[in-house]
Amino acid sequence: MTEEITGLLEDVQDEVFALRFKEADKKLLLLLEGLEPWAGGLRPDKLPEFNKIMLEVSAARQKADYLLLADLLEYKLRPFAEKMAL
């Protein structure tokens, strides 16, 4: 996983745990923008798993469930990205 993506994952989580949700949203947007070019290079058989994670992240954000959002980043997105050698 690149240092930039790792840093953004941690930044979003830090903002959530500090209850700075507007900042968490800003960092999340940067994270998603950073993931976009990488996702385009995923093998087709891995896209459904990635899309499922992104749908869960989106749903958590829409519900303003920031704790779930932080957990999804830590326990789903990070392991997936590491497995795909981001």
The tens-digit pLDDT sequence of the chain (86 residues) is 578 888 999 999 999 999 999 999 999 999 999 898 888 888 899 999 999 999 999 999 999 999 999 999 999 999 998 888 75
Provide the residue type at 84 as one letter.
M
Please state, in angstroms and as integers, the Cα–Cα distance from residue 76 to each residue in 11, 28, 47, 80, 81, following that order: 16, 15, 14, 6, 9
- Scored b (16 or more CB within 10 A) or e, 4-30 reads ebeebbebbbebbeeeeeeebbebbeb
**Residue 51 is encoded by which pair of tokens?**
């899309």
